[in-house]
Amino acid sequence: MSIPSFGVGTFRLTGQVVVDSVRNALDVGYRAIDTAQIYGNEADVGQAIAESGVERGELFVTTKIWTANYAADKLVPSLRESLDKLRTDYVDLTLIHWPAPGNGVALSEYMAALAEAKALGLTRQIGVSNFNIELTRQAIEAVGKGEIATNQIELSPYLQSRKLTAFLKEQGIAVTSYMTLAYGKVLKDPVLGQIAAKHHATVAQVALAWALQLGYAVIPSSTKRENLASNLLARDLKLDADDMALIASLERNGREVSPEGLAPVWD
């Protein structure tokens, strides 16, 4: 995989809350951090990284371009602003946050601008987020096969998107799972609870281990140091074939996020 399999997310966290979350994450062993322009916390993440004492070369930092910055004359300048906030010369991965089909900027235009950002050395890798199969195909056509590092999509035991993930695997594009715990809804699931009890693990660890075993990267967030450390232990949890089959049966197309005007027609 061209991207780390385990990172810390920062969605909905701002100010001192996100500074503490990222510093705690780095302290307990995380080395990948996911943020976005629209989160309004890039400067806070930059502060946390600076205060952590961890060398920049040890970190993998991802940000996402917001829809207002998709135009060819805006994308690169907006990314430079993100780099200033993050206190770094480059990010490791930059994503188009949403396809935003009604945004007035053609996919070919914003993908070309993203490729330019990579050519300029502002980002090491590029990718997309919340793209369906057809739009991912168009993105590949725009920048070339092998250029798209990942498609970051909502995935959880309740939303498994098998058609899309199979396509991404076929294309050699890594899958990054966000909202793997479905806003915490899966934490109350009795099936996952049974699997967790069997392995003396937490339900969160089971859900994250499921995604990892399918080959996905995960970026869970938490404001609690103990939960950040606990989630990381999912890397050591090995689910058996029975566990994976039980989790496969939980699919219910339980999508949590689909903003009008930004989301595509889902597969």
Where are the domains positioned within the chain?
Answer: 8-184+216-224
| pLDDT score recorded for residue 102 | 86
Measured distance CA(232)–CA(37) in Å, rounded? 26
Distance (Å) of CA 131 to CA 5, 62, 63, 173, 267: 20, 17, 16, 12, 10
Distance (Å) of CA 136 to CA 110, 167, 250: 13, 9, 26
Q: Could you tell me which residues are annotated as the binding site? A: 97
Mean pLDDT over residues 138-167, rounded? 98
pTM of model > 0.95: yes
Q: How confident is the model at residue 2 (pLDDT cuts 50, 70, 90)?
A: confident
3-state secondary structure of 128: strand
What sections of the chain are H helices per DSSP?
15-28, 42-52, 75-86, 107-119, 133-143, 162-171, 190-199, 203-213, 225-232, 241-248
Q: Could you tell me which residues are annotated as the binding site for substrate? A: 97
Mean pLDDT over residues 172-190, rounded? 97
| pLDDT score recorded for residue 221 | 97
* pLDDT digits 0-9 by tens, 69-125: 999 999 999 999 999 999 999 999 999 999 999 899 999 999 999 999 999 999 999
**What positions carry a catalytic annotation?**
39
* pLDDT digits 0-9 by tens, 185-241: 999 999 999 999 999 999 999 999 999 999 999 999 999 999 999 999 999 999 999
* pLDDT digits 0-9 by tens, 10-54: 999 999 999 999 999 999 999 999 999 999 999 999 999 999 999
Would residue 209 be called left, alpha or beta, if left means φ above 0 and alpha means ψ between -120 and 50 degrees? Answer: alpha
Indicate the fold that domain 8-184+216-224 takes in CATH. Answer: TIM Barrel (3.20.20)
